[in-house]
Structure 1
Amino acid sequence: MKKREKKKAEPGKYHKTLKEQVHENKALAVVYVVLRVLVVLVMVAQFFNGNFENVFLCVLTLVLFMIPSVIERTIHIEVPDTLEVIILLFIFAAEILGEIQAYYVQFPYWDTMLHTLNGFLCAAIGFSLVDILNRNDRFSVSLSPIYLAIVAFCFSMTVGVMWEFFEWAMDSFFLLDMQKDTVVHAVSSVMLDPAGGNVPTAIKDITDVIVVTSDGAQHALGLGGYLDIGINDTMKDLFVNFVGAVVFSVIGFFYVKNRGKGRFARRFIPQVLPVTPAEPVGAEKNDIDGAQ
């Protein structure tokens, strides 16, 4: 009896082992390993310092690092290496550097930079979701380049708005101050109208504000002005998200206009991997029985 050799179908990238992926994408593997090691070191340090909330943030960061790989393996989507590296760096910059190392406070433009990048990345993801359907013969979706760009822009802005809703909820219910406050030197409100009407009344050149609590205690803020409660920060975040979304939407428009020839846009647009039919269970046994 001659045993037939089992014929193995070539798997797609999502079937490859971790060792094979590391061999093919050494730069990505280095970034992934270095970031994970840094997060683990920070987590250990925060644990011994008794900062268990930061320990949770580190665990959350490690989980978020796995998302691109999980997407590739479960829904057969190939995430470009450039996009994956930026996503990993974005998560590290937001959670570890921004929250734990307080870069949001130390560097005033850190939050602005991340929100701009978020607008760009979300536009890329929104663009790819529709572009995948646009290229798939199984779906009757065929959008022009301008509509793809509009969808990408709207998707990015929607994500940005939802995130601001989340920040507002955390500030309102848990007093976390995710919407960072801004010191302003002038305010204008109809609530300051002495006649109680609808006329905006302005107060300018504010140098300090005294807060009086219910027990009669007075607290001078000592901030050199009036403390805005997150409004300026929210508007700034949405504006820079808008800028990032517009930039990628324009890039995506020309990418589709030129039928996918753009090299830059391709680095940020996930692609559907071809699905290799799995060999039915018991195929090897049937081959052996047939050879007898």
Structure 2
Amino acid sequence: MELREHKSSFIAYKVLHVLVVATLIRQCVLGHFESVFFCVLTLLLLYVPSIVQVGLRIELPTTLEIIILCFIFAAEILGEISSFYVRVPGWDTMLHTVNGFLAAAIGFSLVVLLNSDERLTFDLSPAFMAVVAFCFSMTIGVLWEFFECGMDLVFHTDMQKDTILHAIYTVALDPTRTNTVVGVTGITDTAVNGESLGLGGYLDIGLLDTMKDLFVNFIGAVVFSIIGYFYVKSRGKGKVASKFIPSRKEEGRDYLKAEQEKALPPEAEGREGRPDEGA
């Protein structure tokens, strides 16, 4: 019922679901079991927006739901299995920028939803809500980079993609040990244990990738924070922000509550909300 509520997001879900299942079958035939895991994970993640809506009884805007579904597919199926992270320049940068924008939207929405509860209502300024959204997004971005670094250190993955440099500046090469920066420029190759790696430059170990990811996350967070600021300033009249900010479900669309009421026996439903006769 939740999946079928919005026609456009339901079509997007079904198309992505079919593509993931087709990819899963292909990876099983090829015997790529790590890719099979990514496919199964993606199938589970595609249900998350609907589970969130039912469990938390909130309504996700159709635009936000479609972007989330496409983001999951782009990160897992295209990025990991189809190797777009390596084959398509800027793929990782694009996803991190979108992630910063979406995380800011989620942080902003949490404040809006909490503030719509009569028991927790505060008079929050537009600037404060924009700052909360920005900080929430940057925190998510930092935690993800922690995860990438941890995976690389513990499981020897390469989530922090390396960068080829042609110049390095470091105090580690200073023979005087006086904290003087020594520059090595015009680097055309890197050798490890006397063997050339054939990279055409020096191999950075992920620092620049991490900083780039955080920077584009920063850009995405700033963009939505500005949008959210004017949304609050205009008292909810912003057309762009409204496409990314969830709202509480209306009574007729609370499918979980409807199913729970159907499961109640007639006599229990009739007594619901009345005091115990023996009291």
Q: TM-score, normalised by structure 1?
A: 0.86
Partner of 1:165: 146
Partner of 1:245: 221
1:282 and 1:91 map into 2 onto residues whose CA distance is 40
Q: Kindly indicate whether the alpha-carbon contact (under 8 Å) linking 1:156 and 1:241 is maintained by their aligned counterparts in 2.
A: yes
2:268 and 2:187 map into 1 onto residues whose CA distance is 84
Give the deviation of 1:141 after TM superposition: 2.8
Which deviates more, 42-51 or 245-254?
Answer: 42-51
Q: Kindly indicate whether the alpha-carbon contact (under 8 Å) linking 1:126 and 1:152 is maintained by their aligned counterparts in 2.
A: yes
Within-5 A mapping of 1:272-287? 272-274=248-250, 281-284=264-267
The one-letter code sitting in structure 2 at the alignment partner of 1:261 is K
The one-letter code sitting in structure 2 at the alignment partner of 1:53 is E
3-state secondary structure, aligned to 2:157: coil
3-state secondary structure, aligned to 2:195: strand
Number of equivalenced pairs: 263
1:254 and 1:56 map into 2 onto residues whose CA distance is 42
Q: Kindly indicate whether the alpha-carbon contact (under 8 Å) linking 1:133 and 1:141 is maintained by their aligned counterparts in 2.
A: no
The one-letter code sitting in structure 2 at the alignment partner of 1:207 is T
The one-letter code sitting in structure 1 at the alignment partner of 2:211 is M
Q: Is 1:37–2:13 an aligned residue pair?
A: no
Q: Kindly indicate whether the alpha-carbon contact (under 8 Å) linking 1:83 and 1:268 is maintained by their aligned counterparts in 2.
A: yes
Q: Is 1:110–2:86 an aligned residue pair?
A: no
Q: Which runs of 5+ in 1 are unaligned?
A: 1-16, 213-217, 288-292
2:35 and 2:269 map into 1 onto residues whose CA distance is 56
1:134 and 1:71 map into 2 onto residues whose CA distance is 19
1:84 and 1:190 map into 2 onto residues whose CA distance is 49
| Structure 1 residue corresponding to 2:206, chosen from 230, 242, 254 | 230
Q: Which has the higher contact order (CA 8 A, sep 6+)?
A: 1
| Structure 2 residue corresponding to 1:264, chosen from 231, 236, 240 | 240
Within-5 A mapping of 1:43-54? 43-54=24-35
Partner of 2:275: none
Partner of 1:155: 136
Percent same amino acid at aligned positions? 57
| Structure 1 residue corresponding to 2:169, chosen from 188, 211, 216 | 188
Give the RMSD, CA atoms, in angstroms.
1.8
Give the deviation of 1:274 after TM superposition: 4.2
Q: Deviations over 1:200-234 (max 9, x none)?
A: 1110000001101xxxxx32111110000101101
2:38 and 2:203 map into 1 onto residues whose CA distance is 28
The one-letter code sitting in structure 1 at the alignment partner of 2:174 is D
Q: Larger Rg: 1 or 2? A: 1
Give the deviation of 1:142 after TM superposition: 2.7
2:138 and 2:229 map into 1 onto residues whose CA distance is 17
2:18 and 2:268 map into 1 onto residues whose CA distance is 45
Q: Is 1:220–2:220 an aligned residue pair?
A: no
The one-letter code sitting in structure 2 at the alignment partner of 1:255 is Y
Q: TM-score, normalised by structure 2?
A: 0.90
Give the deviation of 1:25 after TM superposition: 1.9
